[in-house]
Chains A and B, each alone.
Chain A
Amino acid sequence: DTEVTQTPKHLVMGMTNKKSLKCEQHMGHRAMYWYKQKAKKPPELMFVYSYEKLSINESVPSRFSPECPNSSLLNLHLHALQPEDSALYLCASSRGVPGEGLETQYFGPGTRLLVL
Chain B
Amino acid sequence: GNSVTQMEGPVTLSEEAFLTINCTYTATGYPSLFWYVQYPGEGLQLLLKATKADDKGSNKGFEATYRKETTSFHLEKGSVQVSDSAVYFCALSSYNNNDMRFGAGTRLTVKP
| A interface, CB within 8 angstroms of B | 2, 6, 33, 40-43, 45, 48, 55-56, 58, 88, 90, 92, 98-99, 101-110, 112
Interface residues of B in 75-112 (CB under 8 A from A): 89, 93-100, 102-105, 107
Given A102-B32, A102-B94, A108-B43, output 12 extra A-B contacts at Cβ < 8 Å: A40-B105, A42-B89, A48-B98, A58-B99, A88-B43, A92-B44, A99-B95, A99-B96, A105-B100, A107-B45, A107-B46, A110-B43
Interface of B is mostly: loop
Partner of A102, one of B44, B93, B102: B93
A-B contact pairs, 30 of them (CB 8 A): A2-B46, A42-B89, A42-B103, A42-B104, A45-B99, A45-B100, A48-B98, A48-B99, A55-B98, A56-B99, A92-B44, A98-B97, A98-B99, A101-B95, A102-B31, A102-B51, A102-B93, A102-B95, A104-B32, A104-B34, A104-B46, A104-B93, A105-B93, A107-B36, A107-B43, A107-B44, A107-B45, A108-B43, A109-B42, A109-B43
Which residue from chain A places its CB closest to the CB of B6 in the assembled complex?
A42
Interface size class, chain B: 20 to 34
B49:A104 contact, CB within 8 angstroms: yes
| B interface, CB within 8 angstroms of A | 31-32, 34, 36, 41-46, 49, 51, 89, 93-100, 102-105, 107
A90/B98 contact (C-beta < 8 A), A41-B105, A42-B89, A102-B32 known: no
A106:B46 contact, CB within 8 angstroms: yes
B95:A110 contact, CB within 8 angstroms: no
CA distance A92 to B100 in the complex (A): 11
A90/B43 contact (C-beta < 8 A), A40-B105, A102-B94 known: yes
Which residue from chain B places its CB closest to the CB of A9 in the assembled complex?
B41
A43:B96 contact, CB within 8 angstroms: no
CA distance A6 to B43 in the complex (A): 10
